[in-house]
Structure 1
Amino acid sequence: MALSYSDALDYLYSLINYEVQRPERYAPEVVSLERPRALLAALGNPQERYPCLHLTGTKGKGSVSAMCASVLSAAGLRVGLYSSPHLQDFRERIRLNDALIAPELLASLVERVQPYVARLAGLTWFEVVTAIAFMAFAEVSVDVAVIEVGLGGRLDATNILRAPLTTTVTSLSYDHTHLLGNTLPQIAFEKAGIFKRGVPAISAPQPLEALAVLERIAAERNAPLIVVGRDVPFEVGQGDEFGQTFRLMEGAWRGEYWTPLLGAHQALNGAVALATLEQAHKAGLPISRQAIHSGLAQVNWAGRLEVVRRAPYLLLDSAHNAASAERLRDSLQSLFLNSTERRLILIFGAFSDKDVSGMFRALLPLADQLILMQPISPRAFSTDQLAELALQAGYTGTLHSCPSAQEALARAEQLAAPSDVICATGSLSVVGELRSVLGLKPGRAAYLDERAVQLRQNRLV
């Protein structure tokens, strides 16, 4: 009897899962490439049957990956996208031309991989899921796959890729410091671990000490390093509550572009995506200017300053470190809190390995009401712990403890006037749980169904 989808998920979640319980050390004897390399070799190395773009970074790697995949799809290619974590549905991790992997295909791949997993001791959940993603893309004969690193880069299971078309490092900041290091050079070293000999490496603008590490490792591997801002000049354009423009200043693709992803930081992500795609184009992928305009305009990436309701505004953002909270603060101030009549009601939940104090420093000065929730995870801070951290950060406003997503949303809606802004953030789990409470479709951003966004898309597609 064929394995069912639910049985397949039960099997996967029975494996060692470092997304639920982080490893104590990020070292080869704990997090190893040997296990996934052996598994994929036994499976016939499906990841070598198609070209790949490989991306890492602290912030923006998901958005850049989604932009790249969307443009490649608009170019008429059959595109696989592997990303993590998911917001609501496991199948969001493995997409084929933006469609979530079919439950039947996933179940059949899990069934095929089980005997090999049984023969290789110590394989983790992410290592097996990565192998399944590579198998899925080979199964449907993708033309290209966009592969996002899970954690770090050097020892990540995705780093068994031997010769991707490009490697990309998005913006670096402090996250997972107990594993990747507590300095930017240490974090950059781990991220630059995906650089391959002779393969173009693209980087977002970085702090000088991080950039120096990227430059050194790129030089050691004879990998041409293209730094956005330095080698690919761009300008942040106009942004509003429906999208963001940016302009490439030089090259064959110079000109203005628009994406429905909100905030000035998405202009940077867009420039990094186009710098990556330019190198992929030079390597032989057919990408036209029209595909770029169309793909950026149609990019589907939920939970990134996602407007899911208006009057009052309800925003969902996956910021989960200090740097991303600062970007969220800037976007809230410029796009939504630009009227004295608007109050901010902040829903916040976070995991215990995150810099909550740094996030609170950025966001609490804007908040008129603070609603604390506890994501469903053993790694989550309790609402009592978050309340203590908020008080330590100097918060003097009204504080509400509403552990479940349903309670937190109901309290926010009770408090909000039509002119107010409700923003939920602090963790991807917070965003995913609220999307489920709201009945939003997994893997589909709410803005894709807004008329104002559709009108702008139609002018560019």
Structure 2
Amino acid sequence: MKISGYQAALDYLYSLVDFEVHADPNQAALFDLRRMKLLLENLGNPHLEAQTIHIAGTKGKGSTAAMISSVLSHAGFKTGLYTSPHLIKLTERISINGKDISQQEITDLVAELEPLIFRINSCAEYGKLTTFEVLTAMGFMHFARAGVDFQVLETGMGGRLDATNVCNPLVAVITLIGLDHTAVLGNTLALIAAEKAGIIKSGCTVISGTQPVEAADVIRRTCLDKGVKLVEAGSVIECRHKGYENGFQLFELTAPNGTYNIRLPLVGLYQVGNLCCAVAALEQLAEKGIILSKDTIEQGLQRVKWPGRFDIIAYKPLVIVDGAHNPEAIKALMGALNHYLDAHNARCGGKTLVFGVSSDKDLPGMAALLKGFFNRIIVTRAPHPRSMDPEKIALAFNAPGTEVIITDSIENALQVAMRCLALDDLVLITGSLFVAGEALSSLKTRSVF
């Protein structure tokens, strides 16, 4: 098959088994790392070229990865960052020192890999390679060929059987664990934690965020069984919120190696736990011979970019985009929103929610946390096969005194949201990373806000 351009490369990638687009309740049984290892062996094992920081978790793993990558880049290390899913463009998933892989580089890698993928999938000894597995291999190839010093890898889902779990990390980070992807990972915190803890390998240091008791017990037991050091970030780091200033959150953070005064451009209060995990991981690198100064950590964190997470698009009216997509994340988002409004003595006039969600998510749990705060709710859907029917979403939000408006696209939802806005109004766009990405793409072309 000839890959003649970027669109042809995308079409080919999406023609493979793609669980991000088509969720399968039996997909856990289809994961087999042996086919990923076979692919990488045929490529010369590029995943083993760089020092690795591997990050799993239900909530905050992308933000934590972005923070760690930003500091390492600022320290002068060539640093690859692999994350998923993307918000707007596929190229966002693979970057080096903040620069995304180019469309031409994607095209060239797909063209190079296609014959090998064909051979492996024709045999299918361990099942057929998926879109995510091929993208992960492309990330490893891109990093290895660029000669990166570090690769910071975010798991796609779970950990134990995730395509990224072929690496040998210096540091493994597990951010907050909650109930999500239960059909695949298990329906208890202990079962999900066991999957996340699958990234823990002999020889690494483990950083764990503040966890529910059931999850913390699993992580501690796994570390004990593997004979590895465990650092529980919430126990060794004290973080004091000092306010907001010019689009930054200000923190005084006291960690084992010192006290940091941090200006973080990610303004959701829920970033506290992610920040503690990131600093704990960066400090632990010192035990591996990689010393990062206080100034380097502070300045690297000040430069981090991670859109779509409490992303303030406008201030008057206040327009926020956030990719929260499960009850735990929605609860954290609403806590962050109330904290932000209180800190700014903001008394919003109209409160509009633009909401869309994927069909496999806990809609009742999310709606219960959002109802009662907003007087106008616009339900919608992203252009994604897994997006839930807005008519179904609307049923979860029906309540006395709340106007519920049904729209068939993010573009239409934003048009409705814009009508007759006052300067003291609030618009929150959330429910899915797919919704957040589509909204950000649309809002970039608007001047109404």
Name which of structure 1's ranges 236-245 and 342-351 shifts more when overlaid on structure 2. 236-245
What are the within-5 Å matches in structure 2 for residues 23-422 of structure 1?
23-27=24-28, 29-121=29-121, 122-161=128-167, 163-239=168-244, 242-336=247-341, 338-391=345-398, 394=399, 396-422=401-427
**SS, match of residue 120 in structure 1:** helix
Question: Is the Cα contact below 8 Å between 1:239 and 1:264 reproduced in 2?
Answer: no
Q: Which runs of 5+ in 1 are unaligned?
A: 442-461
Give 1:341 deviation, angstroms.
4.3
**Per-residue Cα deviation, 1:360-415 (whole angstroms, up to 9, x for no partner):** 11112210100011111221111100011212xx4640111112111111111104
Distance 1:249 1:216 in 2: 27
Question: Is the Cα contact below 8 Å between 2:270 and 2:333 reproduced in 1?
Answer: no
Distance 1:340 1:168 in 2: 38
Within the alignment, does 1:19 sit opposite 2:20 as a pair? yes
Give 1:331 deviation, angstroms.
1.5
Distance 1:114 1:372 in 2: 40
Distance 1:186 1:246 in 2: 34
**Per-residue Cα deviation, 1:170-189 (whole angstroms, up to 9, x for no partner):** 01111111111111111100
Give 1:215 deviation, angstroms.
0.5
Give 1:286 deviation, angstroms.
4.2
Q: CA RMSD in A?
A: 1.7
Letter in 2 for 1:123: L
Counterpart for residue 124 of structure 2: none
Letter in 1 for 2:307: A
Indicate which of 430, 433, 436 corresponds to 1:431: 436
Letter in 2 for 1:98: G
Going from structure 1 to structure 2, the CA distance change for 1:369 and 1:363 (only over 3 Å counts) comes to: same
Question: Is the Cα contact below 8 Å between 2:269 and 2:339 reproduced in 1?
Answer: no
Question: Is the Cα contact below 8 Å between 1:23 and 1:30 reproduced in 2?
Answer: no
Give 1:156 deviation, angstroms.
0.2
Letter in 1 for 2:238: P
Going from structure 1 to structure 2, the CA distance change for 1:25 and 1:239 (only over 3 Å counts) comes to: farther
Give 1:131 deviation, angstroms.
0.3
Give 1:22 deviation, angstroms.
1.5
**SS, match of residue 229 in structure 1:** helix
Question: Is the Cα contact below 8 Å between 2:77 and 2:150 reproduced in 1?
Answer: yes
Name which of structure 1's ranges 246-255 and 117-126 shifts more when overlaid on structure 2. 246-255
Counterpart for residue 125 of structure 2: none
What are the within-5 Å matches in structure 2 for residues 421-460 of structure 1?
421-439=426-444
Name which of structure 1's ranges 285-294 and 55-64 shifts more when overlaid on structure 2. 285-294
Distance 2:239 2:440 in 1: 34
Question: Is the Cα contact below 8 Å between 1:318 and 1:426 reproduced in 2?
Answer: yes
Give 1:293 deviation, angstroms.
1.1
Letter in 1 for 2:131: W
Question: Is the Cα contact below 8 Å between 1:314 and 1:421 reproduced in 2?
Answer: yes
Counterpart for residue 456 of structure 1: none
Distance 1:374 1:47 in 2: 37
Letter in 1 for 2:216: L
Distance 1:264 1:439 in 2: 25
Letter in 2 for 1:285: I
Going from structure 1 to structure 2, the CA distance change for 1:50 and 1:309 (only over 3 Å counts) comes to: same
**Per-residue Cα deviation, 1:72-119 (whole angstroms, up to 9, x for no partner):** 011011110000000100000001111110122221111111111111
Distance 1:256 1:404 in 2: 42
Distance 2:138 2:42 in 1: 13
Question: Is the Cα contact below 8 Å between 2:260 and 2:298 reproduced in 1?
Answer: no
Question: Is the Cα contact below 8 Å between 2:347 and 2:424 reproduced in 1?
Answer: no
Q: Which runs of 5+ in 2 are unaligned?
A: 122-127
Percentage of identical aligned residues:
38
Question: Is the Cα contact below 8 Å between 2:239 and 2:276 reproduced in 1?
Answer: yes
Going from structure 1 to structure 2, the CA distance change for 1:286 and 1:249 (only over 3 Å counts) comes to: closer
**SS, match of residue 416 in structure 2:** helix
Question: Is the Cα contact below 8 Å between 2:79 and 2:97 reproduced in 1?
Answer: yes
Distance 1:425 1:240 in 2: 24
Question: Is the Cα contact below 8 Å between 1:342 and 1:420 reproduced in 2?
Answer: yes
- How many residues were matched structurally? 437
Distance 1:390 1:72 in 2: 44
Letter in 2 for 1:357: P
**Per-residue Cα deviation, 1:275-313 (whole angstroms, up to 9, x for no partner):** 011122321334222211111111010000101122111
Letter in 2 for 1:129: L
**SS, match of residue 399 in structure 1:** strand
Distance 1:11 1:299 in 2: 33
Question: Is the Cα contact below 8 Å between 1:350 and 1:380 reproduced in 2?
Answer: yes
